[in-house]
Amino acid sequence: MRKLSLAVASALAACVLSASLPAFAADTSPDATMTIGIGITMNTLDPAQQNTTTVRNVLDYEVQTLVTFNERGELQPLLATAWEWSDSGDALTLQLREGVKFHDGTPFDAEAAKFSLGRLIDDRVSTPNGQSYQVIRNMEVIDPHTIRLDLEYPTADLLLALGDTVSAMMSPASVDAKGNSYENLQNPVGTGPYKLVRHMRGSQLVFERYEDYWGDKPYYKNVVLKIIPESNALEAGLRSGQLDLIMNPPVSDIAALQAQPNIAIIKAPSDRSVYLSFVTNKPPFDSREVRQALNYAVDKQAIIKNVMFDAVNLSDSPFAPSVSGYCKTGVYEYDPDKARQMLKDAGAEGIQVKLGTPRGRYTQDYEATQAIASYLRQVGVQVDIGTADWATYTADIFSVDRNPYNLFLLGWAPPAMDAMFQMTYFSKIGWPPNGVNGTFYDNPEMEAIFEKAQREIDDAKRNDMYCQIQKMIFEDAPWMFLWSQNLILAHNKNIEGISYQPNEKFVTIYARPKD
Amino acid sequence: MGAFINYCVRRLLAAIVTLLGVVAVLIFTFQVLPGDPARVIAGPMASAEAVAKIRDEMGLDRSAVTQYVEYVGKVLRGDLGTSPRTRVPVLDEIAERLPYTVALAVLGTLLGVILGVPLGVVAAVRKDRWPDTLGSIVGVAGISLPVFWTGILLIVLFAVTWKILPAGGADSPASYVLPSLTLGIFSMAIISRMTRSTMIEKLDEDYVRTVRGKGVREITATRHALRNAAIPILTVVSLQFGTLLGGAVLTEIIFSWPGIGRLLIESIQARDFPMVQGIVLIFAAMFIVVNFVTDILYTVVDPRVRLY
C-alpha cells in the first residue's frame, strides 16, 4: 500500500513539474508558439456561414480576402493587387496576386475567386452576413489573374465588403476534402500565413506556419488559440504566463493589469457604436425635442470615466470614426437644466421610460444603463429598467409591435466598416421585420440622400453626402449617442508587433519576441 | 437468470417511456421559450431571408406534434439531427465533448469517495470529538463554498501564484488536476456528511453492540457498520456521479473545460434546439444507466435486496 501511494505521489509530482512553465519569457525556440486566449467557441469555420467577429478573427490566420484594412481602417490590397471601377460604376475589375497557392496546392486564380464569391450569392449556401454581395449580378474571368464583377447598381461599399472574412478566398478543390461539401466548408482551405492543423471543439485551435506562404513569413511556427469563456480565467492565464495575449479582460481590471511589469495593454478603437435606441414611432419619443432633451440629460463623460473605466470613446457622430464616410457632428453636452426645460416645453415632464439592456453583451452594458437611468431620473423622467437573456432581448427589440421597451441599448459594428451597413440601423431598409432598426426612424430627406450616396462611386462626393446624413441624424437624435467601444488587448510585454484592425480584430501575424 | 432478463426488459421499457417523455417535455418547452431561434442563430446583422431560411431548416413553422413525431422517428434511425448553428451533426459534436465530461465526473466522484468516506467514518467513530468537529467544518465548507469560488481560488494559487498547474483547458494530464479537485471537494463534502450520519446510526445498532460485547477491536465493529451503511452512501455517490455526468457547468466554464455542460449552456443561449434536444436526451439516457447500475450494485453490497 505504501509503495502504491509513493508511486501515485511521484506520478502526480511528475505531472505537476512537467506542466510548470517558465512564465513571460517569450518563446524564442525555432518552433516557437504563441498562445492566445479567446472568449467564445467557434460555431462554424466556414467563412461564408459564420456571423461572429471572433470567428472571423480566428479564420484570418487560415484564409485571406481580396482586400484588407490597416489600423486606421483604410483599404489595403491583399489577394487583389489593384482594382478599377468602370465609368458607370457598375463593374469592378480586380487584378489578382500571382504566385499564390492554397494550402492544398491549388493555385489561387480568377476561377477560385469566382468560386468563392459565387458561394455568397448562391441560395444553397446559408450566408447570414452575405447581404453586401447580393449586388453582384455576374462574374467574368477575363484572364487567369483578372476578374470583373458586374453589379446590379453602382456601389462603392462592395469593395469594402471584399475585405470582410465572409468573402475569403477558398480553394475550389477543398469541396472534396473530408468533412466538406459545397454548401458547408467546415475545414476551410485558404491562402493564409498559417494553416489550421487541429480543432478541438470548445477547447482550442492549433495553427501551423504555412511554409509556402506568398508573403513575409511569420516568426511564430505555431499559434494556439485557447477558448476560455470565463473572463477571470482568461486573465489568470495571462497573469500566469500561460497565455501571451487575451482580449477584453474585465474593464475594472485594466488598470491593475497595466501595473503588472510583464503585461502591456493595447486599446484598439473599434467601429462598434453603443447607443440607446429611441422608439420614434410612438409617444413620447416621436418628439425630436424629447429625444434631444434626454441626450442632454446624461453625463456621458462621467459614466465613461467612472463606470466604463475609460475603456470606451465618447461618440461624436452617429458613425464610429473608422466607419467609411465618418464625419464629426458633435456631442450633446451634459446640461440637465436645458434637458428639464426642453421636456417642460415639449409637455413631456415625468414621462415613463421602459429602458431595456442586455447583460454582458457589451462592455459594462447593464452597469452603464443603471447610471444612465439615474441621470434620467434627475430630470424627472420615470425609468424602469428591463433586461433579458440575449435571445429573448433580441426577439423583443427586433419585433414590429411587441417591443416592451421604448428605449433600449444596442451595439452596432459594420464588419467591413462600410457606411451602407451602418446605415441599415438608420434607414427604413432596416425596419423590422426585414432588419433590426427598432427605432423606426423616418426621415425622407435623409433617405433620398442615402439612396444617392449608396450609388456614388466618387469617394469625395459620397463622403460629403454621408456627412450631411450624419448631421441630420445627429439633429434628429433617434439614438442617445453614447460611445464607441475599444477592443482591449492585454499581452505579454516581451512580445512586439501585435496589431489590430478597427473592426474588433487583433492581428498577430508579425508578432515576435522583443530582442 | 430468466428472472434477471425479465427484469432488464422491464427496465428497458420503462427507460423508453421516460425518454419519450423527455422529448415531449423538451419540445413543449421550446414552444414557450421566449426568443426567435432563427434570428439568434443568424445574428442581429443577418438579412430577413437568411433568418427565414434557418427557420425553415429548423422546422419551426410546423406544429409541436409534427415536430415530436419527426424527431422521434429520426432518433429511432440513430439521427439526432444537425445543428443549425454549427452545421455539424449533433451526435458528432456530443461524441467529441462527452468524454471530457465523463472523465471529470469519474475523477471528481472518485476523489469524493476516497476523501469523503474515510472522513465520514472517522467523524462518526470519534463523534463529538475533534476529528468530528474538523470533519464537520470541512464538510460544511465543502458544501457551502460555491465551485466558482473554489475553482478560481485554486487557479489563483496553483496557476497564477505558484505557476505549477495550467489555469484551464484539457490538453495535458496536469490540466485534469484542478477541475477534478474542485468537483472532488464538493463531492467529498456531501459524501462525508452522508457517511457520518449513516455510520452514527449503524454504530448504535444492536448487532454492533453485540460484536463489541464479544470484545473485538473497534475497527472490526466499524467494518460491520460500514457494510450496512453502504446503501445510503452508494445512493448519494451515484446521484452525485449522475449529476456530474450532466456536466458540471460552472466548473467547465471556469476551467475552460470542453465538456458537454458548456456546450449545453451555449446551445440554450443560442436557442440551438437540435443540440439541446440531443444533449438532454443523452443526459437522460446516462442517468437511467447509472440508476440501473446502482440498483444492481445494491444487490451486490446487500444480498437481502431483491430487485426481481
CA pair distance A412, A418, nearest whole angstrom: 12
Range name among A208-212, B41-45, B292-296 with the lowest pLDDT average: B41-45
More confident residue, A274 or A420: A274
CA pair distance A117, A114, nearest whole angstrom: 5
Range name among A23-32, A349-358, B62-71, B135-144 with the lowest pLDDT average: A23-32
Mean pLDDT over residues B104-114, rounded? 95
Residue among A184, A202, A239 whose CB faces B263 most closely = A202
Residue A228 has pLDDT above 80, yes or no: yes
> How many CB atoms within 10 Å of residue A337?
10
Residue A374 has pLDDT above 90, yes or no: yes
CA pair distance A31, A209, nearest whole angstrom: 10
pLDDT score at A6: 42
Say if the Cβ atoms of A186 and B54 lie within 8 Å: no
CA pair distance B286, A322, nearest whole angstrom: 52
Q: How confident is the model at residue A51 (pLDDT cuts 50, 70, 90)?
A: confident
Range name among A106-110, A311-315, A479-483, B263-267 with the lowest pLDDT average: B263-267
Mean pLDDT of chain A: 92
pLDDT score at A407: 97
Residue A291 has pLDDT above 90, yes or no: yes
Give the CATH number of domain B98-301: 1.10.3720.10
- Looking at residue A165, what DSSP letter applies? G
Degrees (nearest 5) of the Cα angle B240, B245, B250? Answer: 85
Q: What is the pLDDT of residues B163-186, one digit of tens each?
A: 999 988 888 899 999 999 999 999
Q: How confident is the model at residue A16 (pLDDT cuts 50, 70, 90)?
A: very low
Whole-structure pTM value: 0.87
Q: How confident is the model at residue A7 (pLDDT cuts 50, 70, 90)?
A: very low
Mutate to test the interface with A, among B30, B39, B91, B272 (most CBs of A within 10 A): B39
Say if the Cβ atoms of A391 and B35 lie within 8 Å: yes
pLDDT score at B50: 82
Rounded alpha-carbon distances, angstroms, from residue B179 to A57, A208, A235, B12, B164: 29, 29, 17, 34, 14
Residue A11 has pLDDT above 60, yes or no: no
Q: How confident is the model at residue A235 (pLDDT cuts 50, 70, 90)?
A: very high
Cβ contacts of residue A30 below 8 Å, gap of 6+? A221
For residue A332, which of A495, A450, A480 has the smallest C-alpha distance?
Answer: A480
Chain B: give the shortest CA distance to residue A233, in Å.
6
Beta-carbon pairs below 8 A across chains A and B: 164
Residue B1 has pLDDT above 60, yes or no: yes
Residue among B54, B88, B160 whose CB faces A236 most closely = B160
pLDDT score at B47: 79
Say if the Cβ atoms of A128 and B50 lie within 8 Å: yes
Cβ contacts (< 8 Å) between B152 and chain A: which residues? Answer: 232-233, 236
Range name among A138-142, A403-407, B145-149, B150-154 with the lowest pLDDT average: B145-149
Chain A: give the shortest CA distance to residue B15, in Å.
31
Q: Which CATH number fits domain A269-487: 3.40.50.620, 3.40.710.10, 3.10.105.10, 3.90.700.10?
A: 3.10.105.10
pLDDT score at A36: 97
Chain B: give the shortest CA distance to residue A105, in Å.
26
Mutate to test the interface with A, among B30, B41, B47, B97 (most CBs of A within 10 A): B47
Residue A18 has pLDDT above 60, yes or no: no
Say if the Cβ atoms of A44 and B86 lie within 8 Å: yes
Q: How confident is the model at residue B108 (pLDDT cuts 50, 70, 90)?
A: very high
CA pair distance A26, A33, nearest whole angstrom: 9
CA pair distance A493, A486, nearest whole angstrom: 19
Mean pLDDT over residues B123-134, rounded? 92
- With a pLDDT cut of 90, the percent of chain B lying above it is 53
Say if the Cβ atoms of A20 and B152 lie within 8 Å: no
SS3 A307: coil
Q: How confident is the model at residue B216 (pLDDT cuts 50, 70, 90)?
A: confident
- Looking at residue B157, what DSSP letter applies? I
CA pair distance B26, B96, nearest whole angstrom: 23
Written out in words, the top-level CATH class of the domain with range A5-10+29-225 is: alpha beta
pLDDT score at B56: 85
Mean pLDDT over residues B12-26, rounded? 93
Residue A371 has pLDDT above 70, yes or no: yes
Say if the Cβ atoms of A228 and B87 lie within 8 Å: no
Q: What is the pLDDT of residues A153-175, one digit of tens each?
A: 999 889 999 999 999 999 999 99
Residue A21 has pLDDT above 60, yes or no: no
Mean pLDDT over residues A256-263, rounded? 94
Mean pLDDT over residues A202-211, rounded? 94
CA pair distance A59, A195, nearest whole angstrom: 10
Closest residue on chain B to A236 (Cα): B160
Chain A: give the shortest CA distance to residue B87, in Å.
7
Range name among A143-152, A266-275, B227-236 with the lowest pLDDT average: B227-236
Calculate the CA A266 to chain-centre distance: 16
For residue B50, which of A462, A50, A57 has the smallest C-alpha distance?
Answer: A50
Long-range contacts, stretch A447-450, CB < 8 angstroms, 24+ apart: A450/A423, A450/A426
Residue A389 has pLDDT above 60, yes or no: yes
Strand partners, B188: none
Residue A9 has pLDDT above 70, yes or no: no
Cβ contacts of residue B107 below 8 Å, gap of 6+? B176, B180, B183, B184
Domain boundaries, chain A: 5-10+29-225, 269-487
- Contact assessment for residue A205 and residue A199, using Cβ atoms and an 8 Å cutoff: yes
Mean pLDDT of chain B: 90
Task: Dig out the grid coordinates for A9 from the structure.
Answer: 505521489
Residue A15 has pLDDT above 50, yes or no: no
Say if the Cβ atoms of B46 and A129 lie within 8 Å: yes
Residue A246 has pLDDT above 80, yes or no: yes
Residue B212 has pLDDT above 90, yes or no: no
Strand partners, A274: A411, A483
Which of A271-275, B22-26, B44-48, B56-60 tops mean pLDDT?
A: A271-275
CA pair distance A498, A495, nearest whole angstrom: 8
Helices (H), A63-191: 110-120, 157-161
Q: How confident is the model at residue A23 (pLDDT cuts 50, 70, 90)?
A: low
For residue A509, which of A269, A193, A211 has the smallest C-alpha distance?
Answer: A193
pLDDT score at A1: 38
Residue among B43, B159, B258 whose CB faces A202 most closely = B258
Domain boundaries, chain B: 2-76, 98-301
Rounded alpha-carbon distances, angstroms, from residue A370 to A276, A291, A332, A359, A383: 13, 18, 19, 11, 10
Could you report the predicted ipTM of this complex, rounded to two decimals? 0.82
Specify the DSSP element, H or E, that contains B5.
helix B2-32
| CA R_g for chain A | 25
Cβ contacts (< 8 Å) between B118 and chain A: which residues? Answer: none
Q: How confident is the model at residue B107 (pLDDT cuts 50, 70, 90)?
A: very high
Q: How far does chain B reach from its first CA to its final CA, in angstroms?
A: 10
Q: How confident is the model at residue A20 (pLDDT cuts 50, 70, 90)?
A: very low
CA pair distance B7, B300, nearest whole angstrom: 16
